[in-house]
Structure 1
Amino acid sequence: MSDDVSRETPSVPDEARRVFASGRLPLAERYAALLATDGVLRGLIGPREAPRLWTRHVLNCAVLGEWVPEGAAVADIGSGAGLPGIVLAVARPDLSVTLIEPLLRRTTFLTEVVETLGLDRVEVVRGRADALHGTRRFDVVTSRAVAPLGRLLEWSMPLVDARGALVAMKGATVHEEIVEAEPVLRRLGCAPPEVRELGVGVLAESTGAVRVSWADPASVSWPPATAADAPRGPAGKRGRSSRKRR
């Protein structure tokens, strides 16, 4: 790593000691250092983000664990540099985490991080989330800054187990996204979304998240109907979908 990059490695804030157990904090420190050095050099993290990695990236991902049940199998779609998947694996060693990411340079970085930190319950899968539809299911499917809720539901819900849930980090527009996603929620058979602020009383700024489960777990089959299953129009073509390739 260059000296310029190493000087950007952020110090550990006091809040980190409230979020990570003492035995896991050194792993979180090593991960933050990797993000601030190799992550910046490889273009996975912007150089201006390095000084605020803990507050804007690591800590707010860690508190997502408040909404993840003990011993859950978690999929992080569009994992990028490992946010939130790597952070959850560091903070919660009881979880089994699958990082799903289509870009080679990112999966290469993720694999190196997993090996460096010795995260033996983390799997890296190169590919798009929809490539796993019908073959894999998880207790929790999470993501961060991947897509508006409607598209996120299309990619995520076919991976969610009958009694599992999508648990995604979302910002101030979450309620508007829920309204826009209402047709998708109905078609997929989802329960009304829940919105919660995580890290309240722990972090200086809480983290917004949305949770979506199945309305009737007993009736769910895999993969659930997605936009690709829309009825064909009079010309024999499928109805137009808002789903985009990732």
Structure 2
Amino acid sequence: MAQRSQQAAPAPRLDADKAAALRLTPVSRETEGRLDRYVDLLLQWQAKTNLISPATLPNLWTRHISDSLQLLNLAPSAKTWLDFGSGGGFPGVVLACAMGDVAGGRVHLVERNAKKAAFLREALRVTQAPGTIHLADIGDNVDRFPEHVDCITARAVASLHIVIGFAEPLMKPGTKALFLKGQDVESELTEATRYWNISPRLHASLTGGQGWIVELDRIERLTPSANQNGHTNDRN
């Protein structure tokens, strides 16, 4: 009996989703071109490597691209970005594509998985986006990072209090942290305030659903006595 050749599933049609995403988060024609090349590469790799949830593929532009691009509005003057646990490139590669329009803009992407780091390198090569890949555990080298960072990002990496701990050594005057979180953001904030003195600002995601962005301008570790006596924080 003749064997049937197995063909990869056809790539989803994303035209309508892309149009919706770019209405939410408009970009320049040059950035759109870089994002197109990134999406093409992502779909090629997704056929053999699980970079994102397959269920989100039909809404790739709104669910992932636009979700990442919205961070630019919260840090409009940031040039040097640091993304923890970049995975399939969200938000790190997307931000790097946008930084291609910014003189001196650069995104540092930290990823511990070698296969995903290889994908990130190829994504930066294909898009010619300004970025640097760091193959490392997040906690291994953040306190030795040589540059001043304007904005620190993370998406679906770890619970908020852990991500804040990674960011704390890099939070210099003028540095901002933007962490993309889901529906459990309130409970994660409650846990985080047991360890950190923070004044978070919460922004509802432009892409809808139950997504939130936690914005921090400063991070201070609580002393043991403050932790025992309780701590309150202001939320705007």
**How does the TM-score come out when normalised to structure 2?**
0.79
Choose from 104, 118, 126 the match for 2:114: 104
C-alpha distance in 1, partners of 2:57/2:222? Answer: 38
Alignment check: 8 A CA contact 2:152 2:177 kept:
yes
Choose from 24, 36, 52 the match for 1:45: 52
SS at match of 2:183: coil
Pairs within 5 Å for 1:162-173: 162-173=173-184
Counterparts in 2 of 1:180 and 1:117: CA distance versus 1, 3 Å: same
Alignment check: 8 A CA contact 1:24 1:91 kept:
yes
C-alpha distance in 2, partners of 1:50/1:3? Answer: 18
Offset at 1:27? 1.4
The amino acid across from 2:11 in the alignment is R
Pairs within 5 Å for 1:35-114: 35-93=42-100, 94=102, 95-114=105-124
Structure 1 match to 2:227: none
The amino acid across from 1:146 in the alignment is V
Choose from 6, 12, 22 the match for 1:8: 12
Offset at 1:169? 0.6
Alignment check: 8 A CA contact 1:154 1:226 kept:
no
Alignment check: 8 A CA contact 1:64 1:198 kept:
no
Choose from 152, 158, 162 the match for 1:147: 158
Q: Does 1:32 align with 2:39?
A: yes
Alignment check: 8 A CA contact 1:9 1:50 kept:
no
Pairs within 5 Å for 1:170-185: 170-185=181-196
The amino acid across from 1:31 in the alignment is Y
Offset at 1:160? 2.6
The alignment covers a number of residue pairs equal to 212
C-alpha distance in 2, partners of 1:158/1:40? Answer: 38
Structure 2 match to 1:219: none
Offset at 1:9? 5.4
Counterparts in 2 of 1:85 and 1:154: CA distance versus 1, 3 Å: same
SS at match of 1:138: coil
C-alpha distance in 2, partners of 1:5/1:160? Answer: 44
Alignment check: 8 A CA contact 1:9 1:32 kept:
no
Q: Deviations over 1:217-237 (max 9, x none)?
A: xxxxxxx8699xx8xxxxxxx
- What's the Cα RMSD here? 2.6
Counterparts in 2 of 1:204 and 1:21: CA distance versus 1, 3 Å: farther
Alignment check: 8 A CA contact 1:57 1:83 kept:
yes
Offset at 1:86? 0.7
Structure 2 match to 1:210: 214
C-alpha distance in 1, partners of 2:178/2:187? Answer: 17
SS at match of 1:42: coil
C-alpha distance in 1, partners of 2:160/2:150? Answer: 19
Choose from 123, 134, 139 the match for 1:125: 134
C-alpha distance in 2, partners of 1:73/1:106? Answer: 22
SS at match of 2:182: coil
C-alpha distance in 2, partners of 1:21/1:165? Answer: 24
C-alpha distance in 1, partners of 2:210/2:33? Answer: 23
Offset at 1:79? 0.4
Structure 1 regions of 5+ residues with no counterpart?
216-223, 231-246
C-alpha distance in 1, partners of 2:141/2:168? Answer: 11
Alignment check: 8 A CA contact 1:39 1:81 kept:
no
- The percentage of counterpart residues that share the same residue type is 24
